[in-house]
Amino acid sequence: MKNNENKLSMDTLASLCKRRGFIFQSSEIYGGINGFWDYGPLGCELKRNVRETWWKNIVQNRENVVGLDASIIMHPKVWEASGHVGGFQDPMQTCQICKKHLRADQVWEGIKESAWFGSLVRAIEGVPDTNEVTFTGPSLLRWAIRDGKKLAPGLALVRNPQVTLSWLAEKANTTDTVNISCIDLIRHVATEQLAQTGLQTPCPHCGGPLTEPRQFNLMFETYVGAIKSEDHKTYLRPETAQGIFAQFGNVLATSRQKIPFGIAQIGKAFRNEINPRNYTFRSREFEQMELEFFVKPGTDQQWHEYWVEERMKWYQSIGLPAESLQKYVYKKEELAHYASACVDIMYNFPFGMQELEGIAARGDFDLSRHQQFSGKSMEYFNQETNEKFVPHVVEPSAGVDRIVLALLCNAYKEEWLGKDNQVLPAEPGKQPPEGFEARTVMRFHPKIAPVKVAVFPLLKNKPELVEKARGVFDTLQKWYPSFWDVAGAIGRRYRRQDEIGTPFCVTIDFDTLTNNTVTIRERDSMKQERIEISKLADKIHETLA
Ligand code: GAP
């Protein structure tokens, strides 16, 4: 179901994903584990298709990019050289009442999304994003002893209304109406007394006081071997990129590549995120597809522009519409000190425009650091020009899980379907009109759809139909992930395939037995066509380009 703004709710999507076997909560039988997800039978096909189209586009279809599959656990020095041991940190705050941990830079975002903030703003008839909210002491008190008690028991105004209100009044020099910004109001009602440190920012979950921010390293630590000591400590990789930099010399020596050339890798990465959120969007275990493209110093900008455009084209080729994508170009002051450019490719998720991939021109930072820490040369020697240099790198770095989530959000459609296949957009919360039925359809691009074709014998109790259909299924299955379904009316079988995004359904009927033709039905147009069995594979193949 989509909400009033016709935005897909993530709960609706998560429920379909669970019901049809795309995504499950990890360790669900034990209550789940926050920030970890499992991909079910359809989800892992979808994910494989994303990986495979990327690999084909980035590695197999280019002469100057080669692949690598590095280990997840590497020498701890790798992470010292890369800067992750010292610098891969987020500021964290902990609520002193509910004990939840929060990323300090996301606290206000959390407050604005919280039930108690909405309720408080409604109670005082404020407008959240204006700088002036008008309220009275009694209206705040009324809210505190009713809704506030349930929604934000940790808020100072709720725990100790008199103290909070009296110092608010003292500040405003009145007991009646006060005009301040909404943010200031929230910080006032979170503060019991004017502490030396000034106004408090409340916990988005319960309204309680937060600790001062402290730095939290996002790398998961582990120990190699039987002894758990500092000497044996290392980390699960927080990005795949460093495996590529560490093997730069070996790949260069064995692949006969010349600058410019790239090394690509797909694999798991792990980050102990403080706040995993938005379904699979920010997880603690996820997969990256990274390319390190090594270039001659001075050509960074031209290659950076090239890769941004290549990557934008790829997203559209897997079915994400141009209008759902955006480029965010980093301003100079937002760039890391060693980077000369960075562009994020963003997708318009139901929860906002968010990053799918970052494409950064990182100079020679990574190779130079590994050269310095390992003592091994990372220089490239150009025999034609007799030049020696540490190559610069352009890095397109994408998250598989985020791309899968974007594809799921983009594909999900609810429609009302009339008898003659007339389609109306479904209206949230309403039943379809007389003569219409609801259909949920995942409009995946055929290239990434987990199942390409479903095969149905018209009737399951006619052995000659079943046998003929089985022959068609066995042939198609050799080429494409296919689905066999004999249960229920054909219309219901179509609905089941629509819901998992199968682009084609093939029905074998009595005519098939005499003329070797079948009905092929297309998911989006719902058009049906009669074609020869021998032409089926080609027909499906045409759509996968
Ligand atoms: N080597 C560069 C690098 O790792 P990043 O922006 O931190 O850059 C690249 O990560 C991509 O990895 C992101 O654009 C995103 O798609 C994905 N990613 C990062 N953290 C993630 C998380 N916690 N959950 C899911 N995907 C994540």
Distance between CA atoms of 107 and 120, rounded to whole angstroms? 17
In DSSP terms, which residues pair with 344 in a beta bridge?
A: 328, 358
Q: How far is the CA of 419 from the centre of ligand 1 (A)?
A: 46
Q: Whose CA is nearest to atom 10 of ligand 1?
A: 397
Q: Spell out the SS3 assignment of 507-535.
A: EECHHHHHHCEEEEEECCCCCEEEEEHHH
Which residues does a 6 A CB cutoff place in the pocket of ligand 1?
Answer: 239, 241, 271, 273, 282-283, 286, 288, 290, 355-358, 397-399, 401-402
Q: Which atom of ligand 1 is nearest to the CA of 357?
A: 14
Q: Which of ligand 1's atoms lies nearest the C-alpha of 288? A: 12
User: Ligand 1: distance of its center to the CA of 405 in Å?
Assistant: 14
pLDDT for position 177 = 53
pLDDT of 268 reads 98
CA distances from 243 to 246, 295, 304, 388, 442 (A): 5, 18, 21, 23, 36
Give the per-residue pLDDT at 126.
Answer: 62
Residue pair 357/485 in contact by the 8 Å Cβ criterion: no
pLDDT, residue 1, reads: 44
Query: What's the gap in Å between 232 CA and the centre of ligand 1?
Result: 27
What is the residue-averaged pLDDT of the chain?
Answer: 92
What is the per-residue pLDDT across 174-198, written as a single tens digit (0 to 9) for each?
445 556 677 777 888 888 765 556 7
Place of tokens 């990574």: 366
Determine the pLDDT at residue 6. 62
Choose among 346, 133, 391, 53: nearest CA to 251. 391
Nearest to 291 by CA among 361, 218, 205: 361
- Mean pLDDT (whole number) for 473-501: 96
Q: How far apart are CA 44 and CA 199, in angstroms?
A: 48
Q: What is the pLDDT of residue 481?
A: 96
Give residue 137's pLDDT: 76
pLDDT band, residue 39 (cuts 50/70/90): very high
Residue closest by Cα to atom 12 of ligand 1: 399
Residue to probe by mutation, ligand 1, list 293, 402, 407, most atoms within 8 Å of CB:
402
Tell me what pLDDT residue 62 has: 98
Question: Using N-to-C axis directions, what is the helix angle for 300-317 and 41-55, rounded to 10°?
Answer: 140
Interval between CA 447 and ligand 1 midpoint (Å): 24
**Rounded (5°) CA angle 416-526-488:** 80
Q: Which value, to the nearest 10 degrees, does the dihedral of the CA atoms of residues 309, 312, 317, 318 take?
A: 150
Q: Which residue has the tokens 């759809």?
A: 449
pLDDT of residue 4: 41
Superfamily of domain 10-84+219-410: Bira Bifunctional Protein; Domain 2 (3.30.930.10)
Domain spans, the chain? 10-84+219-410, 91-214, 451-544
Q: Indicate the CATH number of 451-544 among 3.40.50.800, 3.40.640.10, 3.40.47.10, 3.40.50.720.
A: 3.40.50.800
Residue nearest to atom 2 of ligand 1 (CA): 397
Cα dist. 496→14, 77, 484, 523, 537 in Å? 17, 52, 12, 11, 22
The pLDDT-based confidence of 122 (bands split at 50, 70, 90) is confident
- Ligand 1 centre distance from Cα of residue 135 (Å): 43
CA of 148 to the centre of ligand 1 (A): 37
| 169 vs 230: which has the higher pLDDT | 230
Q: What's the pLDDT tens digit per position in 52-61?
A: 999 999 999 9
Rounded to the nearest whole angstrom, what is the distance from the C-alpha of residue 273 to the centroid of ligand 1?
Answer: 11
Percentage of the chain lying above the pLDDT 70 cut? 94
Choice among 77-91, 194-208, 334-348 with the minimum mean pLDDT: 194-208
- Of the chain, the percentage scoring pLDDT greater than 90 comes to 79
pLDDT level of residue 314 (50, 70, 90 thresholds):
very high
Beta strands in 239-391 (DSSP E): 261-270, 285-295, 325-329, 341-349, 352-363, 380-382, 387-389
Enter the DSSP assignment of 260.
S
* pLDDT tier at 132, thresholds 50, 70, 90: low
Q: What number does the ligand 1 atom closest to the CA of 355 have?
A: 14
Average pLDDT for residues 201-222, to the nearest whole number? Answer: 93
d(CA 441, ligand 1 centre) in Å: 29
Write the residue with the smallest CA distance to atom 18 of ligand 1.
399
pLDDT attached to residue 128:
59
Q: What is the pLDDT of residues 255-268, one digit of tens each?
A: 999 999 999 999 99
Give the number of other CB atoms < 10 A from CB of residue 374: 15
Closest CA to 72 of 282, 267, 273, 291: 267
- pLDDT digits over 373-395, tens only? 999 999 999 988 999 999 999 99
